[in-house]
Structure 1
Amino acid sequence: MAHHVSGLGISPTSLDPRSHITDLYVFQKPDDASRTILVINVNPTSPITDDAVDHESVYELGVDTDADAVTDIAFRIRFSPVQGHEQTASLQLATGREAAADLDAGDTVLLDAPVTFGSEPRIAAAGEFRFFAGLRSDPFFADPVGAENKFQWTGEDFFADKNVFGIVLEVPNRALGPNPRVGVWARVLVPHDGRLVQGDRAGRPGIDANFNQDDDDKRVWNQQEPSHDREGFLAKFAHVFEHAGHPEDRANALAESLLPDLLTYDYASAEGFPNGRNLTDDVINMGIAQLSNGAVPHDGLRPHTDLRTDFPYLGNPH
């Protein structure tokens, strides 16, 4: 269904749910068209413990500014170990392709920002940047039971009472580059054999779970960067569309529209998915309608009503 179920257990480097991305959201800040909100939600098992993120991993948002699917701007978040029910985070910004490719490059924007374990958000700010990290209500809504039963919808939103660990940035649009049309993706770099390697990634919603058919494909997909997506996956994605009933030429065109897997975003527009992704966008029904050519009825679900109207926008945890 969604990125909630991809990655976990597929690779030795992504067994830990703390390093697993559930969803990526990017949208124009409400009431301020000069600013953008970026959200990475991780750990679909939150909050089993306060230690909901891995202090040895790096959580990264990559921005492609010139449509070549290579990261030109990187926002990196690192966390301290939890000590006495307290945890902090740091935010690093690397600009330029060489800096974005170097995990140790870039400027520290925020240091020792508090992590939120309770309901009231603890927000950090530095200059024109705002930052939040902590347990939140999962904004994702879907009926996976109905989907797995040949789209016989149950009317039940499986995620209505679920939590995630949310990482939210508010940035000026110019921090995303001079061209308002960008591509955004998220990844988690995890420790493996003495180095940091990519363990999970996310761009458009539901891509990995819906189009990668076996564990080997999922393993390769989650450990590669978007610039390589078409090389090994274009024909496989087209086959999924053909299997759903699309003619070959249409299937190929649809597959090409999804790859490379970046969340395309024009920061001059507040339109919503497929322009970025708002917290309320009905991406599951949009995706099913595209795959089935409109043959599957709407699941009847609606966005969650516990979203905040102010930063960090994600609702309080359950």
Structure 2
Amino acid sequence: MKLNMHKKRKTTILVSVVAAMILGGATVWASDHGDAPAISGKTTDLTDLYVFQSPENNNNLVFVGNVQGLLSPEASKTAAFDEKTLLEFKIDTDNDNKENLVIQCVPKNGKMYVYGPVQPATVGTASSTINSEASAIVDITPYASSTPIVTTTSKGIKIFAGPRDDPFFFDLPQYLKVVSNQATSFNNPGTDALAGTNVLSVVVELPKSLLGNGSSINVWLETKQKS
């Protein structure tokens, strides 16, 4: 399955990160850490979208959505998913840039409820919550837990939700030197400016068969709150 990626913003919903994917071994990501200090809706701030083939099962695809970036270890102790915020993976299976399937993730009372993938009731910037039974439910893993809490369903859907070390690597000091013409290249190894910071992560692994029979998909990630 083919996967490409770009990023876009939806002002009515806050932010959306987009990818297109080949259903194969590719790993694709998009990242946006710059908004975190500036926006008012910290709990809805997206940092990363990753979509990749499971390293353990070639028939599965893994979706990772990260929010609330730049969390210090101290802040991570009390950081929590916002129960008023819906995190939604949107999946376009026919390359018309309109979602054919959605995966909705809703936190409530210390658990993450995952719905879908199913056909959405509405298409576009507005979303309607899925009324069917949750596809999977998992306890949100506490910060610094020695063992991540993972739920696996009879349909082969695996989910995780909780704090994670920020996986995105960015050598900010050297980047600033490059863009200001003080340097012409990056260092190897570089300096990870995000080292020691965390994100809140939702991970959904599921069989590719649940996404249809196409050879490629487009994926984007949104956070939404009731208006």
TM-score if structure 2 supplies the norm length?
A: 0.72
The equivalent of 2:4 in structure 1 is none
TM-fit CA distance, 1:179:
0.6
Secondary structure of 1:150's aligned partner: helix
TM-fit CA distance, 1:142:
1.0
Aligned partner of 1:120 among 144, 147, 158: 147
Q: 1:7 to 1:73 in 2, by over 3 A?
A: farther
The equivalent of 2:116 in structure 1 is 93
What are structure 1's unaligned runs of at least 5 residues? 82-86, 196-318
Higher relative contact order (CA 8 A, sep 6+): 2
> Residue 207 of structure 2 aligns to which amino acid in structure 1?
P
The equivalent of 1:44 in structure 2 is 69
Aligned partner of 2:219 among 147, 170, 184: 184
Secondary structure of 1:53's aligned partner: coil
Contact kept? 2:88, 2:222, Cα under 8 Å: yes
Matches of 1:77 and 1:30, distance apart in 2: 23
Q: Give deviations 1:164-215, integer Å, cap 9, x for gaps.
A: 1111001000122221300011000024xxx2xxxxxxxxxxxxxxxxxxxx
Matches of 2:36 and 2:168, distance apart in 1: 17
Q: 1:9 to 1:21 in 2, by over 3 A?
A: same
Matches of 1:137 and 1:105, distance apart in 2: 30
> Residue 146 of structure 1 aligns to which amino acid in structure 2?
Q
> Residue 111 of structure 2 aligns to which amino acid in structure 1?
T
Contact kept? 2:159, 2:205, Cα under 8 Å: yes
Matches of 2:38 and 2:197, distance apart in 1: 20
TM-score if structure 1 supplies the norm length?
A: 0.53
Matches of 1:114 and 1:103, distance apart in 2: 24
> For the aligned residues, what is the CA RMSD?
2.4
More strand by share: 2
Contact kept? 1:95, 1:106, Cα under 8 Å: no
Matches of 1:68 and 1:52, distance apart in 2: 35
Please state if 1:173 is matched with 2:196.
Answer: no
Q: Following superposition of structure 1 onto structure 2, how do residues 54-203 of structure 1 map, counting pairs within 5 Å? A: 54-81=82-109, 87-93=110-116, 95-98=118-121, 102-105=127-130, 107-110=132-135, 112-117=137-142, 118-127=145-154, 128-151=156-179, 152=183, 153=186, 155-191=190-226, 195=227
Q: Give deviations 1:42-65, integer Å, cap 9, x for gaps.
A: 111335143322111000101001
> Residue 203 of structure 2 aligns to which amino acid in structure 1?
V
Secondary structure of 2:210's aligned partner: helix
Contact kept? 2:83, 2:106, Cα under 8 Å: yes
Please state if 1:24 is matched with 2:49.
Answer: yes
Contact kept? 1:136, 1:163, Cα under 8 Å: yes
Matches of 2:120 and 2:53, distance apart in 1: 24
Q: Following superposition of structure 1 onto structure 2, how do residues 232-251 of structure 1 map, counting pairs within 5 Å? A: none
> Residue 147 of structure 2 aligns to which amino acid in structure 1?
E
Matches of 2:93 and 2:51, distance apart in 1: 15
> Residue 172 of structure 1 aligns to which amino acid in structure 2?
P
TM-fit CA distance, 1:105:
2.9
Secondary structure of 1:142's aligned partner: coil
Contact kept? 1:64, 1:70, Cα under 8 Å: yes
Secondary structure of 1:51's aligned partner: coil
Q: 1:2 to 1:61 in 2, by over 3 A?
A: closer
TM-fit CA distance, 1:110:
4.0
Identity over aligned residues, as a percent? Answer: 25
TM-fit CA distance, 1:97:
4.7
More helix by share: 1
> Residue 171 of structure 1 aligns to which amino acid in structure 2?
L
Number of aligned residue pairs: 183
Matches of 2:138 and 2:216, distance apart in 1: 30
Q: 1:44 to 1:7 in 2, by over 3 A?
A: closer
Contact kept? 2:136, 2:151, Cα under 8 Å: no
Secondary structure of 1:139's aligned partner: coil
